[in-house]
Chain A
Amino acid sequence: MKTVFSRPASLKDVATHFCPGCQHGLIHRLVADAMDHFGVQQQTIGVASVGCSVFLYEYFDIDVVEAPHGRAPAVATGVKRARPESCVFTYQGDGDLAAIGTSEIIHAANRGENFTALFVNNTTYGMTGGQMAPTTLPGQRSLTSPEGRDVALDGYPMRMAEVIAALDGTAYSVRVAVNSPKNILAAGKAIKKAFEYQLENKGFAFVEVLSSCPTNWGMDALAANERVETEMIPYFNLGTFKERS
């Protein structure tokens, strides 16, 4: 009998704590698929951030360091420089990466640090209950923008994949989504490619994944997926913004 589908070895066989409809579990699986694909589970050190994805070590069967809020790229820099033979990835949300940790991600990219950075953008602070994030869309209501994000007062959502792509140190920068089977397949490919860049010592690789947060958006999972399509993708265009050969 031929196995056509199985759980990746890098992913533990446990139930996650994520809310119904949350796409962290799905993105975790794509990352685990990439580790399995390249056979690097035993060489990989993951760097967890603060937010819903802090429990990386509960779900990935790999060594993990937990970083302070926003600092995962700096911690990963220390890890990768100390152990250049290992495979290192960071996994951050939008508040972590694009607000409190803006400096760390920009400078890690600019130094061309040879690790893989995963950025899950769901336009909200999930764990603290749905506050306005640096990626919250204009007009989007949140716990701290009850009338909707007012760009005159709150500024504009940050397009991080484009910002990171503009830096000379970046080798690969891409934005993908996981709201449809087609987009999930493309996201899986992009994540694999971001690991490949690291394993070939090509430098900093960045994958922004548009994700939903049904709980804090006040929607069911299907409506949330629809919102990714109709509201997020038009603002955060999918595509490859940097691909150094």
Chain B
Amino acid sequence: MSERQLVAGNIAVAMGALAAGCRHYFGYPITPQSDIPAYMSAELRKLGGTFIQAESEIASINMLLGASACGFRAMTSSSSPGISLKQEGISYMAGSELPGLIVNICRSGPGLGGIDASQADYFQSVKTGGHGGYRTIVVAPASVQEMYDLTILSFDLSDRYRMPALLLADSLVGQMKEALELKPYTLPSDLPAKEWAVTGKLWRSDQRIVKSLYLGEGELEQHNWKLWRRAEELKEKEQRSEGKYLDDAKLIVTGFGSAARIAKTAVEMAREAGMQVGFLRPITLFPFPEKAFAEATVSCKQLLCVELSTGQMVEDVRLSVARDAEVAFYGRPPGTGSLPTPEELFAQIQKHYGKGA
């Protein structure tokens, strides 16, 4: 029987990472993710793992690069400005085909902004934060349970597709406490062996080289096509979303993470009021669940996208729906006192409901 505990979302990330076999953590203090390094510093040294509070975000992402190059599951966590600093390293990891988990418990911005729940890092996460054109896996938990489950999934996908994984959440999901079921984890038996990892040559005569520099004729183009093929395979096989009340929906409300939680309450309010309103929540932001949106908009032509920003994911929703579907947007840019209430979103549902009929 699996164990249940009452924990905060940030702690669930740390517990999920340990369950997935991550024994190397590198980070730098920043609110609102500080529970993660605090937990890891206590646990990892007990387990004989590595915990380093690095001198900078830049150093911590490069320590992650080093540990990952050795073939080990490793992670860092930070928050928006810190994630900006890590982008160089994320690009190098992507170019070097290295897995690894980067957790972003977002702050509001731009600049120093504030520490309120925010989803304004969607573009940075999904559309590539660093230079050179690459993709990373991006998951968006909406509950403490998902903070744990998607941390584990991120390690598995990251190893399978040899690309960094980003977990995108905010202080709302990171700091609230909910019951967490600690499901036992077993490493998927079909994960490929890390035959690229540096170990020292040991018994081998061939070298292993982890690098992203390709100067030979045609090499870099081929390398980029290889990375692209992997991202395409990820898009084909790994889209995840949660849908509810989609069969008879006349309006579908969508959003991710904390915004989706509030939206879901508003959808339930609408259902109680006898309105045929559906709910569709992307769980993976890259790959974006475009199949689910295409399928849902065969019959339902009206959508409302809710975000804690001025509108970012809505662009991907518009690209994914049926051509004749209309996507309305309601957002609140992050800041103190700007979190929408379920009643506020229910009013938006009432505003748009029946328009497309």
A binds B: yes
Residues of A within 8 A of B (CB): 41-45, 47-48, 54, 57, 61-68, 71, 74-83, 86-87, 103-104, 106-107, 111
* A residues near B24, Cβ cutoff 8 Å: 78, 81-82
* A residues near B65, Cβ cutoff 8 Å: 65, 67-68, 71, 75, 78
* B residues near A61, Cβ cutoff 8 Å: 201, 207
Interface bits B48-76 vs A (CB < 8 Å: 1, else 0): 00101011101110111111111010100
The distance in angstroms between the C-alpha atoms of A67 and B67, with both chains bound, is 12
B54/A107 in contact, CB under 8 A: yes
**Residue of B whose beta carbon sits closest to that of A107:** B55
Q: Top 10 nearest A-B pairs by Cβ distance?
A: A78-B66, A74-B62, A78-B63, A66-B211, A107-B55, A63-B198, A78-B67, A75-B66, A71-B62, A82-B67
Q: A42-B200, A54-B213 are in contact. Are A79 and B207 (CB under 8 A)?
A: no
With most chain A CB atoms within 10 A of its CB, the pick from B52, B88, B210, B213 is B210
CB of B238, distance to nearest CB on chain A (Å)? 27
Q: A57-B211, A66-B213 are in contact. Are A71 and B89 (CB under 8 A)?
A: yes
CB of B74, distance to nearest CB on chain A (Å)? 7
* A residues near B199, Cβ cutoff 8 Å: 45, 63, 83, 86
CB of B20, distance to nearest CB on chain A (Å)? 16
* A residues near B66, Cβ cutoff 8 Å: 47, 65, 67, 74-82
Which residues between 17 and 66 of chain B lie within 8 Å of chain A, taking CB atoms? 24, 26, 50, 52, 54-56, 58-60, 62-66
A74/B59 in contact, CB under 8 A: yes
Q: List 21 A-B contacts (CB under 8 A).
A: A42-B203, A45-B199, A45-B200, A62-B200, A64-B198, A64-B208, A67-B92, A74-B54, A75-B66, A77-B59, A78-B65, A78-B70, A79-B67, A81-B50, A81-B66, A82-B66, A83-B70, A83-B200, A103-B58, A104-B58, A111-B52
B64/A68 in contact, CB under 8 A: no
**Residue of A whose beta carbon sits closest to that of B210:** A65
The distance in angstroms between the C-alpha atoms of A203 and B209, with both chains bound, is 26
CB of A220, distance to nearest CB on chain B (Å)? 28
Beyond A65-B210, A74-B60, 19 additional contacts (C-beta under 8 Å) are: A42-B200, A42-B202, A42-B204, A62-B201, A64-B208, A65-B209, A68-B65, A68-B89, A74-B66, A75-B65, A78-B63, A79-B70, A79-B198, A81-B50, A82-B70, A83-B70, A83-B198, A86-B199, A111-B52
* A residues near B59, Cβ cutoff 8 Å: 71, 74, 77, 103-104, 107
**Residue of B whose beta carbon sits closest to that of A70:** B58
With most chain B CB atoms within 10 A of its CB, the pick from A67, A86, A107 is A67
B62/A41 in contact, CB under 8 A: no
The distance in angstroms between the C-alpha atoms of A66 and B201, with both chains bound, is 16
B201/A41 in contact, CB under 8 A: yes
The distance in angstroms between the C-alpha atoms of A104 and B56, with both chains bound, is 9
B92/A68 in contact, CB under 8 A: yes
A75/B62 in contact, CB under 8 A: yes
Say which residue of B68, B72, B210 sits within 8 Å of A64 (CB atoms).
Answer: B210
CB of B45, distance to nearest CB on chain A (Å)? 12
Which residues between 154 and 212 of chain B lie within 8 Å of chain A, taking CB atoms? 198-204, 207-212
* B residues near A57, Cβ cutoff 8 Å: 207, 209, 211
B96 interface contact, C-beta 8 A: yes
A78/B64 in contact, CB under 8 A: yes
Q: A61-B207, A64-B198, A65-B69 are in contact. Are A78 and B26 (CB under 8 A)?
A: yes
